[in-house]
Amino acid sequence: MDDFFNFLTNSINSIRGPLILGCDFNTVKEAEEKIGVALNLRYMRKFGDFIQYNNLIDVPVAGSPFTWCGGYGKAIACKLDMFLVSAEVVGQFPNIVQRTRPRGLSDHRHVLLSLPSVVSGPKSFKCFSYWVDKLELADLIRSVVSESGNVGASCTLRAIKSAVKD
């Protein structure tokens, strides 16, 4: 574990600018991040020292606080996977959070960095199946498309959505 943190520290020292470090650290930094098994206080202190020495920040987590679960016959859960970021990253993106995803086949949850206040674009156009059953819908769509001319798909879909609501 010492070699791992020394390697990471040396790598971090060679980087200039904002830093995002995502990893399965295989240890926890606080007692609340592990349930069902004894803590390794030595590794926990080393991890905390590594974070402090490198001025890294463990940004808040949305979703499950635990990223790994397992144990042979025991229920064990830990927060092993996380992103640590530099103060520059938090300064540029103050709303940044780590978002845990549901487990798949792995015993680890995926962790994503997320900016909740960022809008990803316009809302998508939804077509409900019962609309297709209505014969007059096809006529309505033809009418809107012919009236809107060559304004682009986004504008045409918005016009269709508006006409369907009316």
Per-residue model confidence as pLDDT tens digits over 97-141: 999 888 777 888 889 888 875 556 666 666 666 666 666 777 777
Share of the chain above pLDDT 70, in %: 86
The order of strands in the sheet holding 111-114 is 61-62, 97-100, 111-114
* Residue 18 pLDDT: 92
Its pTM stands at: 0.65
Specify the CATH number for 2-114; select among 1.10.150.300, 3.40.710.10, 3.60.10.10, 1.10.10.10: 3.60.10.10
Each domain of the chain, given as residue ranges in start order, spans 2-114, 129-165
Q: Which residue has the higher pLDDT, 78 or 120?
A: 78
The span from the CA of 25 to the CA of 99, in Å, is 17
The mean pLDDT value for 53-69 works out to 91
Q: Which helix (H) or strand (E) holds 9?
A: helix 2-13
